[in-house]
A and B are shown apart, each in its own frame.
Chain A
Amino acid sequence: EVQLVESGGGLVQPGRSLRLSCAASGFTFDDYAMHWVRQAPGKGLEWVSGISWNSGSIGYADSVKGRFTISRDNAKNSLYLQMNSLRAEDTALYYCAKDSTGAAAGSFDYWGQGTLVTVSS
């Protein structure tokens, strides 16, 4: 059974940093691209960042470019999101999602339950 378990969320002050993690199991992690998608309270889905199977291709939404960094450790079956210079508008539930391809060119066939990030003073 595919499982994606996010962690690392919490309350953080504006301008500070936070690192999210996603532990994957139930599939061959290093065969697939992975993504972070967020959802602000009461709002829709926003793709944040994605990374190909070998970290060779990485992309970011314009809203986080230059502030967030995605990475993965295939030996640990883990995905990460380093979030710096956090803003109030980054407040959201952050989901880890598995791509259906290795190249980050497909739909998202499995999702975690999310970790909540709240940016507030």
Chain B
Amino acid sequence: SQQGEEDPQALSIQEGENATMNCSYKTSINNLQWYRQNSGRGLVHLILIRSNEREKHSGRLRVTLDTSKKSSSLLITASRAADTASYFCATDEQAGKLIFGQGTTLQVKP
């Protein structure tokens, strides 16, 4: 079964609002990563959080990790239309072998 499961599957918000996406996983991990994918494009690495970290920030992104619940969340603050994309979490079964979730499709309306 899928390692990473994102929730919600789709999210539609207005520009300026915050967007929160959640990811759950099943096995123990070394780290968890979030990626963005614009339609028809490749994946862009957003942020990596290690298993011994609880929270990490990068610009308007905030990622949390709760290893006891095997879950992570990605918060995008003050969203922009350009943030419209699919967002995936990925856990590392082993180095380079990432297990991706189904993704959350985010639409930010101007």
B is bound to A: no
Chain B residues engaging chain A, CB cutoff 8 angstroms: none
Chain A residues with a Cβ under 8 A of chain B: none
